[in-house]
Chains A and B, each alone.
Chain A
Amino acid sequence: MKRIFLKGIKGGTGTTSIVANLACALRKSNVPVYAIDLDPKGDLGLHLGLAWEHQLGWSDYPNFASACEQFHQDNDGVKFLPYGSHSNLGLDFSSIIESCQQLNDSDDSWFLFDCPAHVDVHRYSLNEDDIFLEIINCDAICHSFAFKRLNTLKQAESSWQHYFLTNKYNSASELESDLLQLWQTELPLIAPLYINKDEVIKEATAFRNVAINCAPYSVANDDFETLAGWLVSRASQNDQ
């Protein structure tokens, strides 16, 4: 069981679309993939083809066993659990994360958690095999936040693997290409890859699908496959 947590360093970094695309990319190697929406705005389902009328999610159930019936499966076979309408019936996100252990059907299964930007890393109980990806965009705000995060990580003993992942990178912008180059040389936890800004990611949601299904010849497709491959290599290092 491999757990990946994805969280925007601030709102609007494009975390949910990464979760959806990454889930589908991982699913291509025919392993069980679960995507769990921990974000109260609850839009992961929309990315994976759930109808907007659908109200229910895990937050509308008193316990995990009953919430399990809200697991949906998309066309690729990704199983995902939407957040729901936030009824506060007793389940909170940490218990959901814990309870996911029960689903563990094989060692190869992947759990992707779409974490809300406003909940801090330290409120999750993470073990050393977990990978925490903090999504950043190439702008000055994220730059400050990233270095701030580095400081907090230094203070608290963090045992999990923490990485910054650049999203919506546009090399035509001078600021962005300068910032990325700076990060690649100076930011210790920067992932060795980035997701390019790509219209197809946006367009795919209009088809109620993800970019890797809609645009197999796009750079986005490559980026997500690279990301999946990189995560596999990270996770397999854990296993050894």
Chain B
Amino acid sequence: MTNSIHSLGITHRLLKGILGLFLTKQLVRFVFIKFYSYYNQHKMSLLGAILLPFFVLFLSLFIKLDNNKKRELKLKLKRLYPHVSQPVLTPSNCIRIALQSVYLALFNTTTTSQQHIAVEQRKSWRKLTRSARLLRLADSKLVRSCKGLWLVARKQTKTKSYKAVSSSPLWKNSTLKVAFFTLIVFAVAIFVTVPFSIEAQAVFISLILVVAYSLRRVEGKMATIVMITLSVTTSTRYLWWRYTDTLNWGDPLALTLGIGLLLAESYAWLVLILGFFQTINPLNRKPIALGKDTANWPTVDIYIPTYNEPLDVVKPTTIAAQSIDWPADKLNIYILDDGKRPEFAEFAKQIGVGYLTRPDNKHAKAGNMNHAMKVTNGDYIAIFDCDHIPARSFLQMTMGQFINDSKVCLVQTPHHFFSADPFERNLKNHRKIPNENMLFYGLIQDGNDMWDATFFCGSCAVLRRSALEEIGGFAVETVTEDAHTALRMQRAGYKTTYINIPQAAGLATDSLSAHVGQRIRWARGMAQIFRLDNPLFGKGLNIAQRLCYLNAMLHFLSGIPRIVFLTAPLALIYFNAQIIYAPFVAIFLYIVPTLLQVKITNSRIQGKYRYSFWGEVYESVLAWYILKPTTVALINPNKGKFNVTEKGGLNKQDHYDWTISKPYIILLLVNVLGMTYGVFRLLFGDSSQIGVLVISMLWASYNVIILGAAVAVAAEAKQVRSSHRIKANFPAAIRLANGRTIKVKITDYSNNGVGLETDHNHLCRVNDKVELLMSRGLKQFSFPTYICNTRDKQLGLTLRDLDLEKQKAFIQCTFSRADAWLDWQENFKHDKPSYSFSHVFYTSLRGFKNLIFHAPNELRPAIAFASRVLYFVASLLPKKPTKVLKTS
């Protein structure tokens, strides 16, 4: 140590001596101080530390560098090069400095302080929102004026001569009617088949769009029918054009892929037309009151089939079934337990309902109910899945249909779910966006009812025993015994009816895989019916019923077409296969307006029950999974068994279901790669292809968005409560331990608790014992409860250790209230496609985020590396100079 210092001392002295020959003493000292500070403090290399003081000295010949100036210079550099990191001389910093210097040299950056930027941003944002608002205003003004126009037109037609014409017997002439319809069909056929030049197509389609746009918000059935006609015309015309003009016969690959796409499109077209037909005039059947004399009311058996569901799920259903308003001697309740569990038998005995088991479990649910039919004898059979809790008014609402018409064999009510289904839970849009079920029970069943083709959905329905006996009981040949049974009864000449008033509510499936499993069963069952008892053929059905059934079956065959749509644009991007062989402008003029027109019409018809673009998301999730079972069932209908849908489970923590999302992730990867390749081709490829390429890439990016939303669904959110909270709004009261009473409003309830809201701030504390007073009719019930949480006006109560009597009373006061489920459809506003699209878009973004967040451990380093690379690249880019405070 001392030796080295000593030797350094020698060199030091030597150098000092040499330098002293050329420089003043002051300068020599300066050089040495600088050298030591560079070498020791700044850890510079020896050579650098030696050379730099001389460089500084050299510079000082031109610039006067006192301390103040130096600081200013440093600040200025810091401001101009804000992202240059501390050891200045690194390769990345060299890039940064070079890029920043170019940027500073080329762009005006003098006035850009942070504040200024913010002001500018705010200004442009305001401009943007203002123009959006203007657009919306113009839109609403236009729509209103269109509405006015239509109304005026309608008013003007009320003149005398109009009346004379409209009431003339001429209109009832059947030949005239036939002629009129032929004329319409002829006109449509012409519009569909006549080949237009591109200009003519542009004029034609824009005319149609203008009519559709102006009609969009006009109320009334007539406007809907006009819009449907226009949609049918444009879509049929599109398909005609596709078949006649757009197949590339010269290229076998493009031809094969193109025909594939064309078939998928034909499928979509068929479903669209059938859907229009099915829902053109929903019936909205109203309940029929029963006679006053209850002695004439028929006897009803209630079946509650169960297999492996826990008793906690079955209990409320049974109790609520007992509480249905019906003469007690005419109402018999049976638990049909295929699980043969002793605790169920004991529970049934305890509360006084029938308990039926059978020696074997043949034919699953259908077999179970067929067995029960042999040992019971009510005139009517009501069926509740063991988790569907009926309201007390269930039979009052439904039975009138049977009394009114002796040919009615089935009254179906909607399946309503009080818990969030996997889509709603994982996407966090419960009660914000109509769920998958809503379209079917809100619209399609009502439409079916119009055509006498209501489907039996296996639960929440009443059937006529004599009709069932006539067809030999519940159908056992397929895994969807419900639809098949209804089909058979319809073939036998019976009518099925639907009442769109939720009279029972149940648990939705609690994981995506269970949900998918359930849909697989339905899809397989429908395909089986299609093969074994095809509703298109055979006797007993009218053409409308056949078409309704056809649409239902087609719905479950959506697997292949959906996957075709999700991959079609890639054919052009990857293989340069012209699957739609037409000029870019023609493609643009046919596809975009037709899609717009169809979307607008569907949004009008289905808007309250399904928001635009969500159908695609639901379908995309299921597509891959129903593809195989439907295909297998179509080939060999007897394969496959009944799988029970699991309900009432818990998700302990957030997790991502990688197995179920594998198909969409692969599709997503293929699409994203395709997009990247597309960008590459745009930059370096053949410029004549750009138009078609851009269209394909737009389509692919739409697919990416839809797939992203599908991926988002697979992130299973945790579900900690075993009993679900149900939103409510009815009055009740609590009596505190000190005897005081407070009026409250029940805001939600579950199996073992209620949430309350008081009118004013309460003074309750957690764990206080309070009595909850709830009324059912004139009778008031009191429940001992504990307070489990409090917020200024809110209270949470838990019910503990209720005896059976009290449990019954609690269910009567809550779940089985006649109005418990009435508000389910009123919660939703009418669809607005643009909002809906942005919602899907954000959901999709969340899907991508989820993918990264839940990535498996093996991939984590790669993701971390990729994000680091991205950060690094971003840090190289030039930045706007920022203001640095003088004091720093």
Contact = CB atoms under 8 A, between A and B. Distances in A.
Contacts of B782: 170-172, 177
A203 interface: yes
B743 A222 contact: yes
A177 B780 contact: yes
Interface in A189-227: 192, 196-200, 202-203, 215, 217-222
Given A171-B781, A172-B782, A184-B778, A196 B741 contact: yes
Nearest to A203: B740
Nearest to A193: B778
B775 to A, nearest CB: 9
A169 B781 CA distance: 11
B773 A199 contact: no
Interface of B: 733, 735, 738-743, 758-760, 771, 773, 778-782, 784
Given A217-B758, A219-B733, A219-B773, A198 B741 contact: yes
Contacts of B758: 217
A159 interface: no
A30 interface: no
B742 A172 contact: no
Contacts of A184: 778-779
A198 B739 CA distance: 6
Nearest to A194: B780
Nearest to B805: A174
Contact of B741 (A180, A181, A192, A200): A200
Nearest to B738: A199
A215 B743 CA distance: 10
A219 B738 CA distance: 14
Nearest to B780: A171
A222 B740 CA distance: 13
Contacts of B739: 197-199, 202
Contacts of B741: 196, 198-200, 218-220
Interface string A8-42: 00000000000000000000000000000000000
A202 B782 CA distance: 21
Contacts of B735: 172, 196-198, 219
Secondary structure at the B interface, as helix, strand, loop or mixed, is: strand
A169 B741 CA distance: 12
B548 to A, nearest CB: 48
Nearest to B742: A217
Contacts, number: 58
Contacts of B771: 172
Contact of A217 (B759, B779, B780, B781): B759
Contacts of B784: 172
Contacts of A192: 778
Nearest to B759: A217
Nearest to A196: B741
A196 B779 contact: no
Given A200-B741, A215-B740, A219-B733, 18 more contacts: A171-B780, A177-B780, A180-B779, A184-B778, A184-B779, A192-B778, A196-B780, A197-B735, A198-B741, A199-B741, A200-B740, A218-B740, A218-B742, A218-B743, A219-B741, A219-B773, A220-B741, A222-B743
> Which of B735, B741, B778, B780 has the most C-beta atoms of chain A within 10 angstroms of its own C-beta?
B741
B803 to A, nearest CB: 11
Question: Top 9 nearest A-B pairs by Cβ distance?
Answer: A199-B739, A219-B741, A171-B782, A172-B782, A171-B780, A219-B733, A199-B740, A198-B741, A217-B759
A169 B773 CA distance: 12
A219 B779 contact: no
A156 B743 CA distance: 42
10 contacts: A172-B782, A172-B784, A184-B779, A192-B778, A197-B739, A199-B738, A217-B742, A217-B743, A217-B760, A221-B743
A40 to B, nearest CB: 29
B737 to A, nearest CB: 10
Contact of B773 (A180, A196, A200): A196
Nearest to B737: A199
Contacts of B733: 196, 219, 222
A198 B738 CA distance: 10
> Which of B735, B759, B760, B773 has the most C-beta atoms of chain A within 10 angstroms of its own C-beta?
B735
A197 B771 CA distance: 12
Contacts of B781: 171, 177
Contacts of B773: 171, 196, 219
A116 to B, nearest CB: 27
A177 B779 CA distance: 8
B740 A198 contact: yes
Contacts of A169: 780
A196 B778 CA distance: 13
A160 B202 CA distance: 86
B187 to A, nearest CB: 65
> Which of A180, A181, A198, A221 has the most C-beta atoms of chain B within 10 angstroms of its own C-beta?
A198
Interface in A79-103: none
Nearest to B741: A219
B501 to A, nearest CB: 28
Nearest to B734: A219
A175 B195 CA distance: 86
